[in-house]
Structure 1
């Protein structure tokens, strides 16, 4: 029997997602055909067991935690969610001079405002970036520090923390897009399943954390691995650094894809 079927199930009527590109759904679909992402997938799961569920996604790619707080919290509170996800901070950690304490403080302000209004709030821990690319090893200590601070803030505010980062499967390259910054469709599916289990939704269990089957093509090693790292640096890291130097963001000129609460047809893609 799935874990979630053993516990009483709360009903959710209004789910609001706050965050950056992961919550927007980058890596799961495209701008031409539409993005899906873990929040859309979670909303679909919720809709199967919560008749009349309405869902809004306020996330915008490239946003820092402070921007999520300043731009999305007010609209989120106005929608009066009974369930909210808040996932932000990675964009901050990537920048030189990141104040991890300040990032966690912004997240806690959002946790507090949403829970005090009566919402059930959930968030995620972030994986060690060095497990995805060796070039990101200097960021590992920041990510660990942010995860620790998020756990502490969540404990103070009665927020659910889904420890997705603790499982080995998150380091599987198939869980990530080619840019190594955004989850792949499979990764978004697993994140949604992890949140569903954390929320004890019907039909959820721990299978999301199981390893993937062995890959058909072995991972590169030696010179092949070095060449792959170089291709990634040229194709993704370089353009990202250029945007930072120019003071630009991938989210410039963008707005939330789903700013209002709308019904969700289960399994429809949102």
Structure 2
């Protein structure tokens, strides 16, 4: 069956109550926020979605030269374009990856900076924010894949988790 990420699981849950759901997952693992903006936004807008989820920036904060303002600028532009077209947009804050990957402790400030900017951009555009940064359950190692960057198979709908 291949990888089933959170977006696939969310679509499955929505389809259970709305069988007319048309779903497209444009995500490509490993993309930086600028790449998501450049490569996926136009395709998303062409679909004229009622609901769009935007999750980008985690790969950026892992790289040297991370700039939270640049990353949030890409997110802000995506939020703006999608909401201007009438889509309900949802996004996520970044979990405290230092609790999943102890060697990542130097990145804690970057996570906090990105999360603050995500909240600010989301508020500016009326974007729904799933506040994952503050919930202990999202840092439970059993819910993560072995790379500790993507959700794992135990992050399942049978327990009410996506």
Q: Which runs of 4+ in 1 moved over 2 A?
A: 186-190
Matches within 5 A, 1:17-166: 33-166=1-134
TM-score (norm 1): 0.57
Instruction: Compute the displacement of 1:115 (Å).
Output: 0.4
Q: Distance in 2 between matches of 1:183 and 1:65?
A: 19
Matches within 5 A, 1:217-228: none
Instruction: Compute the displacement of 1:165 (Å).
Output: 2.2
1:183-225 CA-to-partner distances (Å, cap 9, x unmatched) read 11223649x846xxxxxxxxxxxxxxxxxxxxxxxxxxxxxxx
The answer to which structure has the higher strand fraction is 1
Flag structure 2 segments of 5+ consecutive residues without an equivalent: none
Q: Distance in 2 between matches of 1:149 and 1:36?
A: 28
Flag structure 1 segments of 5+ consecutive residues without an equivalent: 1-32, 195-270
User: 2:155–2:161: 8 Å Cα contact kept in structure 1?
Assistant: no
Aligned to 2:149: 181
Bigger CA radius of gyration: 1
1:2-40 CA-to-partner distances (Å, cap 9, x unmatched) read xxxxxxxxxxxxxxxxxxxxxxxxxxxxxxx32211101
Give the direction of change, closer, same or farther, for the CA distance of 1:133–1:100 in structure 2 (3 Å limit).
Answer: same
Q: Distance in 2 between matches of 1:110 and 1:154?
A: 10
User: 1:127–1:165: 8 Å Cα contact kept in structure 2?
Assistant: yes
2:137 paired with 1:169 = yes
Aligned to 1:224: none
TM-score (norm 2): 0.94
Q: Distance in 2 between matches of 1:186 and 1:52?
A: 28
1:142-192 CA-to-partner distances (Å, cap 9, x unmatched) read 0110000000000000000001221111221101112211111223649x8
